[in-house]
Amino acid sequence: MTALSVPSVPADLALARLREATPLVQCITNSVVTGFTANVLLAVGAAPAMVDLPEEAGIFAGIAGGLLVNLGTPTPQQRDAARAAVVATDRWVLDPVAIGTLPVRTALAAELLQSRPAIVRGNASEIIALAGLGSGGRGVDSTAGAEEALEAATSIARSAGAVVAVSGEVDVITDGTETVRVPGGDRLLTLVTGGGCSLGATMAAFLAVCDPLSAAVAASVAHAVAAEHAARTSSGPGTFAVDFLDALAALDPSDLRDREAHLQGVS
Amino acid sequence: MTALSVPSVPADLALARLREATPLVQCITNSVVTGFTANVLLAVGAAPAMVDLPEEAGIFAGIAGGLLVNLGTPTPQQRDAARAAVVATDRWVLDPVAIGTLPVRTALAAELLQSRPAIVRGNASEIIALAGLGSGGRGVDSTAGAEEALEAATSIARSAGAVVAVSGEVDVITDGTETVRVPGGDRLLTLVTGGGCSLGATMAAFLAVCDPLSAAVAASVAHAVAAEHAARTSSGPGTFAVDFLDALAALDPSDLRDREAHLQGVS
Amino acid sequence: MTALSVPSVPADLALARLREATPLVQCITNSVVTGFTANVLLAVGAAPAMVDLPEEAGIFAGIAGGLLVNLGTPTPQQRDAARAAVVATDRWVLDPVAIGTLPVRTALAAELLQSRPAIVRGNASEIIALAGLGSGGRGVDSTAGAEEALEAATSIARSAGAVVAVSGEVDVITDGTETVRVPGGDRLLTLVTGGGCSLGATMAAFLAVCDPLSAAVAASVAHAVAAEHAARTSSGPGTFAVDFLDALAALDPSDLRDREAHLQGVS
């Protein structure tokens, strides 16, 4: 008797599929990280497109392989674009940036959650705030560890039917039943703006080629391994961000296979 | 008897003039590539300014040496800014990003084309869609080769009185009568967001110092040569983007002169 | 008898405090430089957050340690967000980008100046235009040297009760009584988009931990020293921007202490 493996599509296979498919990934994201996010998607093997007009976002979501909705700087147009896009696809990621104290994005995150994202990605403070269990952290800064948000993540996963990924020193990813922990990465990634936001985009890319839990784990593993590679060659946050893109582009599926083995030990 | 040379201002002379003039280049462009585009303009020797408010764009277009209108993320304000700017100058470049399926930008591109851009730059799918001969590609991704868009490019060039530059492995540039092909560059440039968008900006910079055909060719040659230099020193798309800026800034007009000789052989 | 030292908090102590506090810094800034600005703030030791919705900006300004209002691409929403934010905090920096000829930002700068920024930072042309003594330069390009703007800077400092920092080959910083000159830096910083804008953000970060004159000087010294370090390792504007981030992150307070000694000689 063999147990179902968790996740069902291992990260190495997911990456091989992604490279083969080069899926279009639509990003409705904040103005700070657009360029870096697009470069991360290109490096990982996807084709980014930021289509965030209300009149165009729904049309494009129907064509795209995956969609990211990131609430970092949600202009009125982006809010309407997000509403139009999330009803046009099931393959979308919600990143509730800095919700909690700030009213516009907090209300919007609650509203969009009703449209059943495949994945919710955030830091611990954001996930706790989204579950209605806390008031949020300091903007994009999390004041709580990922493990502290496990109860909130599980609650959202069960009520919204989504995979919830909490970013931290160890990423905690749950579908409400199974929980996967992805260790690794590097502290320097927290000194690069868009480190977390681009992870949400990579999850959206993987949604084009596998199920939500597999997609969230594969993206998390890919970013962790690439960050470790970049940390070896860089000498600060500037060179790290650049080398991270090189490392993502150079990732071989086998680099993730070794990490999979480690994952199965901790899940 | 001596034939007129095509283009009339060779790229090396155009670059020398640009460096001397450091023209102001106004960019009404998409939110993904603003930073990279500005850095490309600075590296090539121009002074970028993104002035994209409706109340200011026309005033600034009258002062600037060149103008780029890129339709990547055309907010209502940028659309009005573009309308105000293009009637205030003849030295402008239209980049019809991802037109075809998406209605707002497709209609806007058709409208702006009536105001006679000096240069239209796009990938093959965009140029084919602008000519009304196809439905567009996959967003910024072209699904056709540059050569396949030659008929569409020639048609636009003749009807709109513009130079049309189709980006691809070999760039194809036509004024409707003469066609110039610029080979070279590097595949890594397609893995950097803003690779194509910044080429449109560089064309706008060259418009400040020479005629449209010469400007389009000089920009294309400068980007191709700088990309080749950067490919030699980089180890992936991250370092490539950085080294490309260094290479642009280090370009000597004589680097382009050698390429000119090659061009005349293929034009 | 001991004279008061100018500035009262030396740059090395200010940096040590900043690293200890990791203050939240709110940026209402232009779309070209958001990513680079956020990375500069992370490198220097602060936590950036671009909260620029009218409904959220005032709330966040009350929480943040410092606020930057940069008028580079002031959309109607950002203008309202700025109005809401500047009345919620005293610790804010006004960067009147490209004012003079362009009407929207010029009127807004005059209006916001009434809300008493702690620091005004600009190039000479912008400061002269803000004082009503000239028509502005060429967008972000200054056509005047910093020293030429000293009269204008002193006038604004006295009437608005602000510290005024004029960026140039030598930065000139005055509170209307004392004037500090910060030499150094590197010309390559002028070839990186956001070089000046990010300096305003760093000043906002230092406002969280010291008085305005000390904050402006500490930021100016930190950028100058980091630029000198980056100039040694880089080979053009692309690598310079990257190495500048590494250098900022690697700054030791003692690096600024040596520079303080030099400062006291010229102040």
ipTM summary value: 0.94
Q: Which residue of C has its CA nearest to A75?
A: C53
Give the model confidence (pLDDT) of B71-96 as tens digits.
999 999 999 999 999 999 999 999 99
Contacts of C265 (CB under 8 A, 6+ apart): none
Instruction: Find which of B29, B30, B32, B242 to mutate to test the A interface (most A CBs within 10 Å of its CB).
Output: B32
CA gap C257, A173 in Å, rounded: 46
Is B50 labelled as part of a ligand binding site?
yes
- Look at residue A133 in the predicted model and tell me its pLDDT: 84
Q: Say yes or no to pLDDT of B137 above 80.
A: no
Q: Say yes or no to pLDDT of B1 above 80.
A: no
Partner-chain residue, chosen from B31, B98, B192, that has the shortest CB–CB distance to A49: B98
Is B194 labelled as part of a ligand binding site?
yes
- Look at residue A231 in the predicted model and tell me its pLDDT: 97
Q: With contacts defined as CB-CB under 8 Å, which chain A residues touch B80? A: none
Q: What is the mean pLDDT of chain A?
A: 93
Report CB contact under 8 Å: B42, C76: no
Say if CB A102 and CB A129 are below 8 A apart.
no
Helix (H, G, I), strand (E, B) or coil at C166: strand
Helix (H, G, I), strand (E, B) or coil at A34: helix
What is the average pLDDT across B110-128? 97
Starting at the edge strand that comes first in sequence, how are the strands of the sheet with C119-123 ordered?
C47-49, C24-28, C66-70, C92-95, C119-123, C163-167, C171-174, C179-182
Q: With contacts defined as CB-CB under 8 Å, which chain B residues touch A55? A: 103-104
Give the model confidence (pLDDT) of B12-44 as tens digits.
999 999 999 999 999 999 999 999 999 999 999
Report CB contact under 8 Å: B35, C30: no
Q: B264 falls in which pLDDT band (50, 70, 90)?
A: low
- Look at residue C142 in the predicted model and tell me its pLDDT: 60
Cα distance from B135 to chain C (closest Cα, Å)?
A: 31
Instruction: Find which of C53, C55, C188, C248 to mutate to test the A interface (most A CBs within 10 Å of its CB).
Output: C53
Cα distance from A79 to chain B (closest Cα, Å)?
A: 13
Cα distance from C118 to chain B (closest Cα, Å)?
A: 27
Contacts of B216 (CB under 8 A, 6+ apart): B119, B121, B163, B165, B173, B203, B206
Give the model confidence (pLDDT) of B187-196 as tens digits.
999 999 999 9
Cα distance from A184 to chain B (closest Cα, Å)?
A: 21
Cα distance from B153 to chain A (closest Cα, Å)?
A: 24
Q: B66 falls in which pLDDT band (50, 70, 90)?
A: very high
Q: Say yes or no to pLDDT of C63 above 50.
A: yes
Give the model confidence (pLDDT) of A140-165 as tens digits.
556 678 999 999 999 999 999 999 99
Give the model confidence (pLDDT) of A196-211 as tens digits.
999 999 999 999 999 9
More confident residue, C146 or A143: C146
- Look at residue C2 in the predicted model and tell me its pLDDT: 41
Please identify which residue in the block is written with the tokens 């784990």. Answer: A217
B-facing residues of C in 79-108 (CB < 8 A) are 98, 101-105
Among A158-162, A247-251, B136-140, name the one with the lowest average pLDDT.
B136-140
CATH architecture assignment, domain B11-266: 3-Layer(aba) Sandwich (3.40)
- Return the partners of chain C (3 or more C-beta pairs < 8 Å): A, B
Q: Would you kindly state where each structural domain of chain C is located, as residue ranges?
A: 11-266
* Biggest distance spanned by C-alpha atoms of chain A: 53
Q: Which residue of A has its CA nearest to C242?
A: A238
Q: Does A77 touch chain C (CB under 8 A)?
A: no
Closest residue by Cα to residue B165 from B103, B227, B220, B110: B220
Q: Which residue of A has its CA nearest to C25?
A: A139
- Look at residue B6 in the predicted model and tell me its pLDDT: 79
Report CB contact under 8 Å: C32, B50: yes
Q: How long is chain B?
A: 267
Report CB contact under 8 Å: B237, A42: yes
Q: Say yes or no to pLDDT of A169 above 80.
A: yes
More confident residue, A139 or A57: A57
Partner-chain residue, chosen from C43, C56, C63, that has the shortest CB–CB distance to A104: C56
Q: With contacts defined as CB-CB under 8 Å, which chain C residues touch A72? A: 50
Give the model confidence (pLDDT) of C232-264 as tens digits.
999 999 999 999 999 999 999 999 997 876 665
CA gap A49, A64 in Å, rounded: 9
Among A44-48, A80-84, B103-107, C140-144, name the one with the lowest average pLDDT.
C140-144
Report CB contact under 8 Å: C239, B246: yes
Q: B145 falls in which pLDDT band (50, 70, 90)?
A: confident
- Interface A:B, Cβ pairs < 8 A: 96
